[in-house]
Structure 1
Amino acid sequence: MAHSENTAPRCVGCGIPLQSENKEVAGYVPEASLEKEEAICQRCFRIKHYNEASSVTVDQDEFLKLLGSIASTDSLVVHIVDLFDFEGSIISGLQRFIGNNPVLLVVNKMDLLPRVTNWNRLKNWVQKQAKVNGLKVEDVVLCSAQRNIGFDRVVEAILTLRGKRDVYVVGATNVGKSTLINRLISDFSDLKRELTVSRYPGTTLDAVNIPMDDGKSIIDTPGIVYPSRLTELVVRKDLAKVMPDKPLKPMTYQLNPQQTLFFGSLVRFDFIEGERQSFTAYVASELKIHRTKLERADELYAEHRGVMLSPPDLADLETLPAWTRHRLRIDSGSSQDIFISGLGWIQANGTSGATVDVYAPRGVKVMLRDSML
């Protein structure tokens, strides 16, 4: 049954006009539920009964408008980032938009790192990198959404830092934000209460407003899409091959200068100059790595791209931007990673320095950083 927006019954959870014509549009309910006295839309229903937070995404400009509205509130901002794609998922300049509100940095996917990792050293590394990105954080908590490790510490940190404030949860896509939100719903919210949705000015997407037991709210903001991450460019079927869900198995290669590594057909790594040394790749184990001599690299790529050198396959390779070359110089005596957003990183293990070229799809973030491990 069709209603105009003014006469349509509204969701008792979020207040949006209800409709039964299109499942993909906000406010959908099955037609049989439309005439119920206290109908709730499918999204509120799923959050309430299945503890499923929505995974709404938004582009950078809309997201920045939304962030700007946080400055005028008195809130705790929980910024969740992906440890595997740290520089690709951190929101640079977050502080400029949220004013003086405190930030809790929640670093997800700690389960991907080796068990022998020195977690205190890693936490110090995160704090240093956050500072490099202009972020002043009250605390850093490492966790794993997938393995449910460290979430008690996240909840404790939120309790300690929020006082009587609202809690805004912000983050990029695929960082584990919805898992965190679901946990916060179960810890802070009485699920008998319905949800409300607030619409931010200038955006066409909704932020989910989850009432807490003390009358304040957890605000789940849409996930920001960063096209500088390789994971935003590859086709869906290849995501599992570049986004690891099991602990990383580092692959170490002893390379002479003038040798090349291909990471499928996604990224090429050339060791240009330096003494013979080892490089350790921290990438998903499903991603095939091929080594060759630099003089043969162009020919190998021309003959085998999208087939032996995959992912992606030949058809999907055509959808990716052309490669851009990044020349990086690793200083002697330094301990550095070559970070490729969405693919992982290559740790340079030599102490004598090196010059390398990285070819990645145009726009993908490639940079040197202090070694994580």
Structure 2
Amino acid sequence: MLKVLQACVRHQVCVRRQVCVRRQVWSSVSSAAQRGSDTAEGRGVTRGGVRSCTVDPNLQEQFVFVEFTDPEDDPQQEERRILHQFRAASAAGSPGSAAGSPGSAVGSPGSAAGSAAQLTPHKHLRSLEHQLQVLRSGDQQEAELDSLIQFQDVDFLLDDSVTATKKKKKKEAGGGKGEHKIFGTPDVDEPVSNTCCQGCGALLHCTSTAVPGYLPSEKFKELQQEGRLGGATCQRCHLLTHHHQALNLQLPREQYKDVVRQVRAHKALVLLVVDLLDLPDSIIPDLPELVGANKHIVVLGNKVDLLPADAPNYLQRIKRQLLQYCQDSGFAAQVTDVHLISAKTGFGVEGLISSLQRSWKYKGDVYLVGCANAGKSTLFNTLLESDYCKSRAADVIHKATISPWPGTTLNLLKFPIINPTPYRMFRRQQRLQEVLQQTEEELSQDELRRMQRLSKQGYLVGRVGRTFRTNASPSEEIQFDPDSLAFGEDGEPTATAPSRPSSELTHNELKDTHWLYDTPGIMKELDILSLLTEHEVKLVVPTQAIIPRTFVLKPGTSLFIGALARIDYLQGQTSCWFSVVASSRVPVHVTSLEKADGIYEKHAGHVLLGVPVGGLERMKEFPALVPQEVRVEGRGQLEAAADITLSSAGWVAVTAVEGDQLLLKVHGPQTAGFSVRTPPLLPHIISLKGQRIPKSVAYKPLKAAGLLDRGLSVSSAKTPQLKKKKKKN
């Protein structure tokens, strides 16, 4: 920096000398012009208001060079020498010098040029002293070049909004808080590792960005050299987890099934995860062929927290209907139990764990199997933080990547199952009894906040805890598991002596253990999510408690569910009710049959219909709606006759007068797989409609009350926080 400053000093002295000489010539020329004379040394001519001059080529400019010395010898002495030489150079242009004597034409104290020549060296001297002081203090910072230059067009003033937008883009380009900067290039020469991604299960590599498990070559080689590749996640999982961005990466459908077929050769228990919002399409029809006809199957109806209670004992009715669908698929003989759970809120999970520890115990491995987007990875993470997993493994094993995008899990993920010895079962039962007797005042602040947050997102809320932990107690008292001594295996003590934490499980911890595996989701043949983009999937897949929206339609009217589906009411004796059970972010629009085609052509892709998003350009890619006729017989004004299922987007329950014959026409993409479901899943959903909104065909939606599962059974009593919420509503 000091060398650069010396060069700047030399440049400033040279420029100052040139300016002084030119000012001498210009002053002489101006004087000659005023006297009307024209000399050979300088000539001043005014032509059209523009003044020109000619400089004497024989006049030689004088330059002063500052001698260079190494600043490392004596920095203080070097600074003083530069200042001394700069003052000497400045004195050459002072009024006492030959060039600036009082008798000269340029250096007269009364002239403007002479005043400028006197003030300029002092300004440069003060600037130089200030820079040297900053150098000595070590606080010099690099200034941005753009901040030193300001441009403003007089005719085109810069708008403040444009300036703010540029600053925002510049800030984003520089990297904001929590932003993931995609960098690096693939390296085709680097071999694929034998380490799997902790988020999706794909093998980590850096050869190609289009292959699952990709990491940038710079990151991949760095982690491999440091030995930390075993705990890493691929770039796709990182984007899904931290930035909610889904890369368009899908494997062939048969490749997902090939991974699940590995279950056939093992003694295992199959946990079939079914999406209750997509019944019966989310039940795998050829499940015995994939896992084997000799496997025991436990059916888990997931996402029950999103369904409202249309009548008392509605959970038992859903459980019976789910078992009937399994019987229709041909594997009811292998089903040993049916559970309704919520992997997100924890409802029914503690009961599932207790059932597995009593029935299956420790006989073999357990596999989570189901269709894509059924919630297997969410259940995997919930069980990882429960009594079903070895206590220390929950702190070591990475959670599975979760997203609404189908096909997130690409290979097997696993965690070790705890051995349910009698002592552990006794301790677990004690904890569940204590949880059952807890009141709101005894709950921690974190638990209260969690219950309040989940009660807003779902109707059914549960509590999943851990009986055995590896954290040391404050008194550092060593508590051991007597079963670990009796059975000769390493157990999970409730507290251990302080020791150095390990990032991997030891051989003794994993000896003779059994595992719970999370398998890739089976891709459905007909699914509307395969036609949507990443943003549209987030809008369509319900993540909050569904509040049914009911509309009364007369013959000759149409009901739009976004731009995804359209239901025409063609024939019927009286009006009937359509209850839409779908995400609240998908708009519903009712119009006459004559205007339906025009509204779809004009508003598809725009705000009115909502989904898909992207205007006319997006609708050119979206498949056309294909009509199909549906006939429904009414069963009364208090019971729905049938459900028109909209694949993973939900369904529409149709309620009509008993005996009324309805003719409907359902429009939807041919590859979406819309169908009619009888009997309906929630037949009494019409009871959840509120009062009729004046001058409209809509009813006010009502949200059903929520229940709390404390781990043993469904409690009919509401929690205190749920009661407060109901009063506010």
TM-score between both structures, scaled by the size of structure 1: 0.83
Q: Residue 279 of structure 1 aligns with which residue?
A: 578
Matched, 1:103 2:297: yes
The 5-angstrom pairing of residues 205-224 of structure 1 reads 206-214=411-419, 215-224=513-522
Determine the C-alpha separation between the residues in 2 that align with 1:13 and 1:312.
33
| Alpha-carbon contact 2:646-2:673 (below 8 Å) kept | yes
Query: Residue 123 of structure 1 corresponds to which residue in structure 2?
Result: 319
**1:252 corresponds to:** 550
Give the drift of 1:371.
0.7
Partner of 1:183: 382
| Residue type of the alignment partner of 2:305 | D
Distance 1:297 1:12 in 2: 51
Pick from 64, 75, 87: which aligns with 2:257? 64
Q: CA deviation at 1:238?
A: 1.6
Higher mean displacement: 308-317 or 228-237? 308-317
Residue 681 of structure 2 corresponds to which residue in structure 1?
372
CA–CA distance in structure 2, aligned partners of residues 10 and 241 of structure 1: 37
CA change 1:160–1:318 in 2 (3 A) is farther
Q: Which amino acid counterpart does residue 371 of structure 1 have in structure 2?
A: P
Deviation at 1:366, TM superposition (A): 1.5
User: Structure 1 residues 65 and 9 mapped into 2: Cα distance closer, same or farther (>3 Å)?
Assistant: closer
State the Cα distance separating 1:30 from its structure 2 match.
4.7
Alignment of 1:33-72 (within 5 A): 33-36=223-226, 39-43=229-233, 58-72=251-265
| 1:65-94, Cα deviation, whole Å (9 max, x unpaired) | 333332332211111121112223221121
Size of the aligned set, in residue pairs, is: 358
User: Quick check: 2:372–2:521 contact (8 Å CA) kept in 1?
Assistant: yes
Cα contact 2:643–2:653 (8 A) shared by 1: yes
> CA 1:193 to 1:147, structure 2 compared with 1: closer, same or farther past 3 Å?
closer
Residues in 2 aligned to 1:66 and 1:31: alpha-carbon distance in whole angstroms: 28
Please identify which structure carries the higher strand content: 1
What amino acid is the match of 2:416? P
Query: Could you say which residue in structure 2 is the equivalent of 1:360?
Result: 668
What aligned pairs does 1:1-373 form with structure 2 within 5 A after superposition?
11=195, 26=213, 28=215, 30-36=220-226, 39-43=229-233, 58-98=251-291, 99-115=293-309, 117=311, 118-136=314-332, 137-163=335-361, 164-186=363-385, 187-189=388-390, 190-191=392-393, 206-214=411-419, 215-276=513-574, 277-307=576-606, 308-313=608-613, 314=615, 315-333=617-635, 335-350=641-656, 351=658, 352-369=660-677, 370-373=679-682
- The 1-side partners of 2:288 and 2:214 are apart by 34
Using CA pairs under 8 Å that are at least 6 residues apart, name the structure with larger relative contact order, 1 or 2: 1
CA drift of 1:208 comes to 2.3
Per-residue deviation, 1:275: 2.3
Is the Cα–Cα contact under 8 Å of residues 328 and 355 in structure 1 kept in the other structure?
Answer: yes
Q: Distance in 1 between matches of 2:529 and 2:316?
A: 29
Indicate conservation of the 8 Å contact 1:340/1:365, yes or no: yes
Distance, in Å, in 2 between the alignment partners of 1:103 and 1:94 is 10
The structure number with the bigger radius of gyration is 2
User: Cα deviations across residues 248-288 of structure 1 (Å, max 9, x unaligned)?
Assistant: 11111211122100111111111122222112111111111
Structure 1: runs of 5 or more not aligned? 196-203
1:154 maps to amino acid: L
1:179 deviation in Å? 1.3
Match of 2:64 in 1: none
Contact 1:12 1:38 in 2 (8 A): no
Q: For the Cα contact (< 8 Å) 1:269–1:359, is it kept in 2?
A: yes
The change in CA–CA distance for 1:296 and 1:4 in structure 2 (over 3 A counts) is closer
**SS state at 1:89 partner:** coil
2:389–2:415 contact (8 Å) kept in structure 1: no
TM-score if structure 2 supplies the norm length? Answer: 0.45
Amino acid at match of 2:389: F
Change (3 A) 1:111 1:9: closer
Superposition deviation, residue 42 in structure 1: 0.8
Letter in 2 for 1:93: D
Distance 1:4 1:235, change over 3 A: closer
Paired residue type of 2:665: D
Find the aligned partners of 1:72 and 1:296 in 2 and give their Cα distance. 58
- Distance in structure 2 (CA, Å) of the matches to 1:16 and 1:295: 52
Equivalent-residue separation in structure 2 for 1:12 and 1:229 (angstroms): 29
More helix by share: 2
* Deviations, residues 5-51 of structure 1 (Å, cap 9, x unaligned): 77x8754999998656778753856544322357525139xx9xxx9
Letter in 1 for 2:224: L
* Post-superposition offset of 1:372: 0.6
Over 3 Å counting, the alpha-carbon distance change for 1:253 and 1:16 in structure 2 is: closer
**How far apart, in 1, do the equivalents of 2:202 and 2:573 lie?**
64
**One-letter code of the match for 2:382?**
R
Change (3 A) 1:32 1:296: closer
Output the aligned Cα RMSD: 3.4
Q: Deviations over 1:180-219 (max 9, x none)?
A: 1112333323417779xxxxxxxx9532243334511212
